[in-house]
C-alpha cells in the first residue's frame, strides 16, 4: 500500500494558494462579486418582468420622439408599404400544369389584393387593412415583445347586416388581454394552455362585457386545424411561452441617455442665463468694521458719506439678463463681464453616441436610422452598416410579420375556395386534403437600402451575366414580385411594338436591334 505523501511546512509560514484556471475567477478588485445574479428558466424571467417591462417600454415610446421614430423605422424596413404576396402552390398532384398553376396564382393575387386592402372585409371592427394590422403587430412587438390576433367568422346573416361578401375576419388584440395566470397542474402558463406535449391548445383572454371583466378561453385551432389564434413572438429559450419587450435590454441606456441630455440642456440654459460676472470694489463686512475703528471722526464721516453716495447710485442702476437684457448703469468701481458657456463639453458627444449605438442594437436598426446622425458616415461605413443590419430585418420579416400575414391568408383563402369565389379543381375537398401545399406562399418586403444605386445595379447585372443569380432573386432583392414584373414587361413591350416604337426591354449589344430598320454597322469615321 502506498503511503500518503506528507509535506512539511516551516512553522510560522503561510502556504500560498496554487493558481488555477476556472470560470468566474474574480479580479483583485472583486468586481464580479459586486454583481449578484440568480439562474432561473427564461420563461419564469419573462413572466415576472413582463408587465413592468411592457409599462416602461410603452411609457418610453409614448414620450420619446426618437423611439417613436425608431418604431416607424422598424416598420418601414420590415414591411414598407405592405408585404407582397407571392403564392407558391404545389398543384402538380391536383391535375394542374405549369400554365394553369401560373393562372391560379395570378387569380389568387388579384383576389388577395382586393380583400386585404378592404377593411370592411378583412377586419372584424371594419377599421384596418391587413397591412395596417401588421404595422400594429410590429409596434406591439417593440413594446410587448409579442403580437396577438384572433380569427373569427361571420355567418350569412351577419354579413347581410353589414353588406359583406366574406365571413373570415381578423381581430387584432393587445397582448395585455392575454392573462398572466399560471397553473402548472392545468397546463396553463402565463395565459397559454398547453397539452402534455407542450403544444398550445388554447389562450385565455380577458374581455370586458358591460363593464365586467370576463376571462374566456379561445382555441388555438378549430376542428379542421385552421389557426384561430395568431400569437407570434421571438423566443429566447426553447421553453418560452411569451415574449418580452424588444427594447427591454436597452432600458438602462435609454434612460441614461435621457438623463444625460436633460442635464446637459438644463446646465446650458443656466449657463446662458447666468453667464455674466459682476465684479465690484465695494468694501466687505471687514472694511466696514475697520471704518468703525477709525478714531478721527471727520475722516470716518467722509468715508461713510462716500460709500452711502455710491450705494445710492447703485440702487438707481439695473442689470437684467433674461429674454429682455438691460444694463442701465453700473456703480462706481463695478465691472460686468460676459462669459461663454462650457456645456456641452468634449466628452458629451462620445457618450451620447455610445448610448445611442447600444439602443440601436437592441431595437435592430442602424445607428443612423435611430439618431439621423450621418455626420461621420462614409460610403464604406454605410455599406457595412446596411449589410450588418439587413439580415436582422429579413429575420424580423420572416419570423414576425410573415407568419401573421400567412395565417390570415390561409384562413381567407380557405373560405374563398370553399364558397366558390376562387375555382379549384376537385372542389373544396381536394383543397382541404392538400391545404398546406396550396397555401404555401412567400412574402416580400421593401428593397435593401443602397448607398449607391448605380453600383448596386451594376453588381446585379454582373451577377446575372455570370450566372450566379436569377431575375426572380434580383426582383426579390428590390422588393418586387417577379411574376408581376414579367407580366408588366410583356404588356409594355407589346404596346411599344404595336406603336412602332423601339421597346426599352430589347437587349442591344453595340447598337440598335436588327429588326429596328437602323444600320448597325457604320464605317470608321462616319458621323
Give residue-wise pLDDT tens across range 496-508: 888 888 888 876 5
| Closest listed residue to residue 61, CA positions, set 209, 213, 251, 335 | 251
Count other C-beta atoms under 10 Å from residue 407's C-beta: 20
Residue 116 pLDDT class (50, 70, 90 cuts): very high
Mean pLDDT of 3-9: 60
Range ranked top by mean pLDDT from 151-155, 378-382, 388-392? 151-155
Select the more confidently predicted residue: 159 or 377: 159
- Report the residue count for the chain: 527
Residue 227 DSSP class: B
In degrees, rounded to 5, the angle at the alpha carbon of residue 250 between the alpha carbons of residues 402 and 133 is 25
Mean pLDDT of 121-137: 96
- The CA distances from residue 320 to 98, 119, 205, 376, in Å, are 85, 61, 63, 41
Check whether 516 has a pLDDT greater than 50: no
Which of 83-92, 103-112, 339-348, 365-374 bottoms out in mean pLDDT, i.e. has the lowest? 339-348
Residue 324 pLDDT class (50, 70, 90 cuts): low
Mean pLDDT of 260-277: 75
Q: At a CB cut-off of 8 Å and minimum separation 6, what does 75 contact? A: 135, 138, 139
Task: Provide the pLDDT for residue 227.
Answer: 95
Select the more confidently predicted residue: 403 or 92: 403
Residue 436 pLDDT class (50, 70, 90 cuts): very high
Residue 512 pLDDT class (50, 70, 90 cuts): very low
CA dihedral 497, 498, 501, 503 (to 10 degrees): -30
Rounded to an integer, what distance in angstroms lies between the CA atom of residue 207 and that of residue 218? 11
**Beta partners for 443?**
85
Phi and psi for 336 in degrees, rounded to 5? -100, 125
Select the more confidently predicted residue: 275 or 278: 275
Residue 155 pLDDT class (50, 70, 90 cuts): very high
Range ranked top by mean pLDDT from 32-41, 77-86, 335-344, 403-412? 403-412
Task: Provide the pLDDT for residue 21.
Answer: 64
Check whether 319 has a pLDDT greater than 80: no
Rounded to an integer, what distance in angstroms lies between the CA atom of residue 208 and that of residue 177? 10
Rounded to an integer, what distance in angstroms lies between the CA atom of residue 36 and that of residue 26? 13
SS3 204: strand
Rounded to an integer, what distance in angstroms lies between the CA atom of residue 403 and that of residue 148? 12
Rounded to an integer, what distance in angstroms lies between the CA atom of residue 80 and that of residue 78? 6
475 close to 485: Cβ distance less than 8 angstroms: yes
Residue 487 pLDDT class (50, 70, 90 cuts): confident
Q: Omega of the bond prior to 344 within 30 degrees of 0, cis?
A: yes
Residue 4 DSSP class: P
Task: Provide the pLDDT for residue 14.
Answer: 55
Residue 131 pLDDT class (50, 70, 90 cuts): very high
Task: Provide the pLDDT for residue 275.
Answer: 59
Q: Exposed/middle/buried for 104, CB within 10 Å: 0-12, 13-18, 19+?
A: buried
Mean pLDDT of 312-328: 56
Residue 481 pLDDT class (50, 70, 90 cuts): confident
Q: How far is CA 368 from the centre of its chain?
A: 13
Q: Exposure pattern of 19-44 as b/e (b: 16+ CB <10 Å)? A: eeeeeeeeeeeeeeeeeeeeeeeebe
**Share in percent of the chain as helix, strand, coil (round to 5):** 50, 15, 40
Segment 59-67 long-range contacts (CB within 8 Å, at least 24 positions apart): 60/247, 60/251, 60/254, 60/255, 61/142, 61/143, 61/247, 64/254, 64/258, 66/370, 66/371, 67/247, 67/254
| Residue 403 parent element (H or E) | helix 402-418
Phi and psi for 237 in degrees, rounded to 5? -135, 160
Task: Provide the pLDDT for residue 515.
Answer: 45
Task: Provide the pLDDT for residue 265.
Answer: 86
Mean pLDDT of 140-167: 95
Q: Exposed/middle/buried for 98, CB within 10 Å: 0-12, 13-18, 19+?
A: exposed
Rounded to an integer, what distance in angstroms lies between the CA atom of residue 416 and that of residue 437? 16
203 close to 173: Cβ distance less than 8 angstroms: no
Task: Provide the pLDDT for residue 518.
Answer: 44
Q: Name the pairing type of β-strands 276-279 and 335-338.
A: antiparallel
Which of 56-60, 159-163, 331-335, 419-423 bottoms out in mean pLDDT, i.e. has the lowest? 331-335
Check whether 416 has a pLDDT greater than 60: yes
Rounded to an integer, what distance in angstroms lies between the CA atom of residue 227 and that of residue 215? 21
Task: Provide the pLDDT for residue 237.
Answer: 93
Residue 208 pLDDT class (50, 70, 90 cuts): confident
Residue 337 pLDDT class (50, 70, 90 cuts): low
Rounded to an integer, what distance in angstroms lies between the CA atom of residue 404 and that of residue 396? 12
Rounded to an integer, what distance in angstroms lies between the CA atom of residue 455 and that of residue 311? 76
| Average pLDDT value over all residues in the chain | 83
Check whether 321 has a pLDDT greater than 70: no
Helix ranges (DSSP H) in 200-284: 251-273
State the chain's maximal CA–CA distance in angstroms: 127
**Beta partners for 438?**
none
Q: How far is CA 114 from the centre of its chain?
A: 28
Rounded to an integer, what distance in angstroms lies between the CA atom of residue 271 and that of residue 475? 56
| Closest listed residue to residue 232, CA positions, set 137, 133, 150, 143 | 137
Which of 139-143, 156-160, 520-524 bottoms out in mean pLDDT, i.e. has the lowest? 520-524
Q: What pTM was estimated for this model as a whole? A: 0.77
**Beta partners for 136?**
none
Mean pLDDT of 400-414: 97
Task: Provide the pLDDT for residue 509.
Answer: 44
SS3 432: helix
CA dihedral 393, 396, 402, 404 (to 10 degrees): -140
Amino acid at each position: 500500500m502506498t503511503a500518503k505523501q506528507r509535506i512539511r511546512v516551516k512553522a510560522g509560514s503561510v502556504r500560498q494558494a496554487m493558481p488555477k484556471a476556472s470560470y468566474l475567477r474574480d479580479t483583485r478588485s472583486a468586481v464580479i462579486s459586486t454583481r449578484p445574479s440568480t439562474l432561473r428558466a427564461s420563461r419564469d424571467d419573462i413572466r415576472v418582468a413582463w408587465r413592468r417591462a411592457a409599462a416602461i417600454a410603452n411609457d418610453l415610446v409614448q414620450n420619446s420622439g426618437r423611439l417613436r421614430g425608431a418604431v416607424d423605422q422598424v416598420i418601414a424596413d420590415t414591411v414598407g408599404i405592405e408585404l407582397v404576396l407571392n403564392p407558391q402552390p404545389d398543384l402538380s398532384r391536383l391535375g394542374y400544369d405549369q400554365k394553369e398553376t401560373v393562372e391560379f396564382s395570378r387569380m389568387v393575387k388579384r383576389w388577395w389584393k382586393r380583400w386585404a386592402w378592404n377593411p370592411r372585409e378583412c377586419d372584424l371592427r371594419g377599421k384596418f387593412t391587413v397591412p395596417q394590422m401588421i404595422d400594429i403587430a410590429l409596434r406591439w412587438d417593440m413594446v410587448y415583445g409579442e403580437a396577438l390576433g384572433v380569427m373569427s367568422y361571420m355567418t350569412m346573416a351577419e354579413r347581410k347586416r353589414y353588406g359583406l361578401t366574406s365571413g373570415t375576419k381578423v381581430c387584432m388584440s393587445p397582448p395585455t388581454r392575454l392573462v398572466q395566470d399560471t397553473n402548472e397542474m392545468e397546463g396553463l402558463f402565463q395565459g397559454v394552455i398547453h397539452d402534455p406535449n407542450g403544444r398550445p391548445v388554447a389562450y385565455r383572454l380577458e374581455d370586458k362585457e358591460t363593464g365586467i371583466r370576463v376571462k374566456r378561453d379561445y382555441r388555438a385551432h378549430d376542428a379542421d386545424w385552421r389557426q384561430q389564434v395568431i400569437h407570434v413572438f421571438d423566443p429566447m429559450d426553447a421553453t418560452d411561452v411569451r415574449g418580452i419587450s424588444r427594447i427591454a435590454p436597452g432600458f438602462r441606456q435609454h434612460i441614461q441617455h435621457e438623463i444625460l441630455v436633460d442635464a446637459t440642456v438644463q446646465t446650458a440654459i443656466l449657463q446662458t442665463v447666468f453667464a455674466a460676472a459682476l465684479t465690484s470694489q465695494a468694501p466687505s463686512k471687514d472694511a466696514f468694521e475697520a471704518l468703525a475703528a477709525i478714531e478721527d471722526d471727520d475722516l470716518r464721516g467722509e468715508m461713510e458719506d462716500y460709500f452711502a453716495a455710491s450705494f445710492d447710485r447703485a440702487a438707481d442702476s439695473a442689470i437684467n439678463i433674461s429674454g429682455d437684457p438691460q444694463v442701465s448703469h453700473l456703480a462706481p468701481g463695478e465691472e460686468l463681464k460676459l462669459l461663454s458657456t462650457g456645456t456641452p463639453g468634449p466628452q458629451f458627444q462620445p457618450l451620447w453616441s455610445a448610448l445611442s449605438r447600444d439602443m440601436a442594437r437592441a431595437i435592430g436598426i442602424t445607428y443612423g436610422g435611430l439618431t439621423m446622425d450621418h455626420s461621420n458616415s462614409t460610403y464604406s461605413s454605410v455599406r457595412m452598416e446596411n449589410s450588418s443590419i439587413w439580415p436582422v430585418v429579413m429575420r424580423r420579416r420572416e419570423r414576425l410579420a410573415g407568419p401573421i400575414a400567412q395565417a390570415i391568408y390561409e384562413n381567407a383563402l380557405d373560405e374563398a375556395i370553399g364558397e366558390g369565389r376562387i375555382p379549384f379543381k376537385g372542389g373544396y375537398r381536394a383543397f382541404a386534403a392538400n391545404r398546406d401545399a396550396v397555401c404555401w406562399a412567400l412574402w416580400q418586403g421593401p428593397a435593401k437600402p443602397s448607398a449607391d444605386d448605380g453600383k448596386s445595379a451594376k453588381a446585379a447585372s454582373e451577377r446575372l451575366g455570370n450566372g450566379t443569380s436569377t431575375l426572380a432573386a434580383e426582383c426579390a432583392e428590390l422588393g418586387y414580385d417577379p411574376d408581376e414584373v414579367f407580366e408588366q414587361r410583356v404588356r409594355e413591350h407589346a404596346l411599344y411594338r404595336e406603336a412602332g416604337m423601339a421597346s426599352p426591354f430589347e437587349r442591344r449589344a453595340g447598337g440598335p436591334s436588327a429588326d429596328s430598320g437602323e444600320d448597325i454597322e457604320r464605317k470608321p469615321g462616319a458621323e
